[in-house]
Amino acid sequence: MNILNIHGYHGSRQNAAFSALKENRCGNIISPDINYDAVSPEKVREYLAGIIRENDIGLIVGTSLGGFFAAVLSAELGIPVILVNPCLMPFLHLPRLGYTGDIKPFIGLFGNLTGLDSEKTSCIIGGSDDVIDTHDFTENLLKNPRFRVVPDGKHSGATLPLKEYFSGVLRYYSGRRRI
């Protein structure tokens, strides 16, 4: 199975999600470096959609801002997604983190989240996230049996039990379709 792993703002392609996927021996993990400051949100979305098409991606994993793009692409393409502390409202959070680009395209992409399929969406968040303060919205949008809150978890995926969480979610998805 081919998996697309999308890191967060100022994150690394070899983030905690990447490590947890490797530990679970998930198959081929494609994890591109993305400079969110240098590329417009529309171009990031197009770039990631191209990776999905060219590599027959069966699962998308996204952390923080990468979780936003993962959710948008899952809604558009119907591909299962695992979100780690997703920043589903980047138009609110990015300016606080020093982002100086145009936030309007994020607002347009935000509307696509209404197309998320609960059966194809899994999410883990840190209950003590020190960066994203809108996880109540995330929970209301994505609450299902695979939605997990780790009370002491922070924003960094390294503070979350990703290996164990991914293992359970991957079993769920493999029982539902080819992964």
Superfamily the domain 2-176 falls into: Alpha/Beta hydrolase fold, catalytic domain (3.40.50.1820)
pLDDT at 151 over 50: yes
Check: CB of residue 6 under 8 Å from CB of residue 66.
yes
Q: Scanning the structure block, which residue is given the tokens 């997604």?
A: 81
pLDDT tens readout for residues 48-70: 999 999 999 999 999 999 999 99
111/178: higher pLDDT: 111
> 125 has which bridge partners?
149
pLDDT tens readout for residues 68-111: 999 999 999 999 999 999 999 999 999 999 999 999 999 999 99
